[in-house]
Amino acid sequence: MIKVGIVGGTGYTGVELLRLLANHPQVSIEVITSRSEAGMAVSELFPNLRGHVDLNFSEPDPDVLAACDVVFFATPHTVAMALVPELIKRGTRVIDLSADFRLKDVDVWEKWYNTPHTCPELFGQALYGLPEINREQIKSAQLLAVPGCYPTACELGFLPLLEAGLIDPKHLIADVKTGVSGAGRKANIPMLMAEISGSFKAYGVSGHRHLPEIREVLSQYSGQEVDLTFIPHLAPMVRGIHATLYGRLNEDVDLQALFEARYQNESFVDVMPAGSMPETRSVQGANVCRLAVHQPQGSDTVVVLSVIDNLVRGASGQAIQNMNIMFGFEETTGINLIATMP
């Protein structure tokens, strides 16, 4: 049994962590923090957790957090870096769901997040937590950066093709749609359901903060810098990401066999039968990424369809998957859930 703390418990990823960890047989949730809701019972804000989480929100206290075996940061970007150095110094393991430690280059991070990073010395220590590429390193990591939701869907879709050298890394396109929960739990008029219902729009066309993360990971596995056009869209749904990924093939291979072989031992990647069209509702509430690979009209274009739940496989579920690996638990413990339909 390990002791777990959560910093930032009132957002969507925070409550998703609580929902999943409450039924984890190897976890004791010791503390859940929120400066704005300190003193309030968790079940008062999130009635779905009544009878499952008997804690009150509290102010972040480094001494209390350092007594935990692992601390999750479910906070907005730039918040974790204020507390993480102290916890690392005390030997507490940290799993950060924000973008504070995802990139390897501090200058790139500061450019995209438009603020100085307060602990750049930890960049070299942070490990990128995509289990399908870093499983062995995750076992011994002290500071782990959970991939973003868009990057998770895109990277899992492109990786088999780039690893095998089958597509031109200079001509990659990611056309991706997400639900409104990806923007976080805050008052934001463009994200209100009344504003987006019955509508659909692109955003971040000139550049999105997840772009350098995706480029960095894909370049690592391509062996050269990739050129990726990444266009996110806001869809009128609460949860889910659907990524349509395009690449230009440089040889003719059995793409279905390639994907099945790459992910055959992965519990949380489902390569669907040839011709499939994965739906976002098929992964709602689950930690799985469903993939389908197509070669329309036998052309030199490969199309990969990738769907995830942005709050689970794209955030909290993947964070717990990493925790399971770090502490030697069965990787599926507490997160081997079936999606909710309808």
Q: Where are the alpha helices (DSSP H) in 60-209?
A: 62-66, 80-89, 106-113, 131-138, 149-163, 193-196
The token pair at 317 is 């579920």
The token pair at 152 is 């998770």
Confirm if 88 and 73 have CB atoms less than 8 A apart.
no
Query: Residue 336 carries which DSSP code?
Result: -
Please identify every residue annotated as catalytic: 149
Query: Residue 180 carries which DSSP code?
Result: G
Query: Residue 40 carries which DSSP code?
Result: S
User: SS in 3 state form for 138-151?
Assistant: HCCCCEEECCCHHH
- Token look-up 């597509």 returns 167
Q: What does the DSSP assignment read for 251-262? A: S---HHHHHHHH
Q: 301-308 and 241-248: which strand pairing? A: antiparallel
Confirm if 287 and 21 have CB atoms less than 8 A apart.
no
Question: Cβ of 67: how many Cβ atoms within 10 Å?
Answer: 15
